[in-house]
Structure 1
Amino acid sequence: MNWRRAGILLFAWTLTGCATPRPPVQTDAFWSGRLALQVLSEPPQQWFANFELQGTAEQGELLLLSPIGTTLAKLSWTPIAARLEQSGGSVQSNNLSSLSERLTGTALPIAALFEWLAGRPAQVQGWQADLSGHAQGHLQAQRTQPAPAAALRIVLDQ
């Protein structure tokens, strides 16, 4: 009888090991807030929009919205293609940087932006990010090279 009981306990113990819950699956990051972009081109350009950014630097979506919630532009990308959709139509490219430049007048460091929004420093040639306000939901980045200079300011929704 003792061997039978021991066998049942061993069987129950091994089943318990099989039923261990798996760790939660990492979901894509999501940020929303307001952004301002100033490009010191000739003539100077300024952008102000609400935004929603989700995904990763390799695959994601950036939605730019007016203050009343109207979609101004949608930029989506995968490892093999990028697409910019605006009211006037859509454009595809294999280069996300060229589409961000088409949209804003300057190439934005999208991969670094994900790091900066997560509060992690990332080096991008020509850009200097100030993450000192990250805990309060503020981010600033300046580009000095290549010309034209640009300034990006982000305030995250809390």
Structure 2
Amino acid sequence: MREYDRRFQELESRLRAETERLENEHRRRAAALEEQLESRVEKLAAQQRQEAAARAAAIEDLDHRNGQALRTQRGELVASIEQLESDLGRSDARTREALAQCAGNLEAMLRALREELSVEREALRGDKVGREDLADLMAELSMRLRGPLDQPQA
């Protein structure tokens, strides 16, 4: 019985020693794995920070270039609008000048036509037949159309 008891104690002490050895080895391996994981996590975190910084710089650069392109396009549009306004102003001025010239020509033609009408009116007044002369002419025409009846001798 003592022999069994001693063997169980030896077995128990060996089992304890083996358990401690396994626990120590397990702790050592867990610590090594933890160190490896921490270093990998740190590397990955550093890569992520670098990528984030690179992307932020790229976005900032893109935003800057877009802003420059927008300012350039805005400047070109403003210049085009100013050019169109200038062209429109010159065209408007030319149109107004042409319209004023046409109005002047029309006024001159109207004056000339009025003068011609005035001259013709004066000529017609000089050539017109008076009422009494016209009445005599009509009476004579009436008599001639009636035929040879008693025609008055003048």
Query: Whose helix proportion is higher, 1 or 2?
Result: 2
Q: Same fold (TM over 0.5)?
A: no
Larger-Rg structure: 2
TM-score, scaled to structure 1: 0.24
The structure with the largest strand share of the pair is 1
Give the structure-2-normalised TM-score: 0.24
User: Comparing both chains, which one has the higher relative contact order based on Cα–Cα distances under 8 Å and sequence gaps of 6 or more?
Assistant: 1
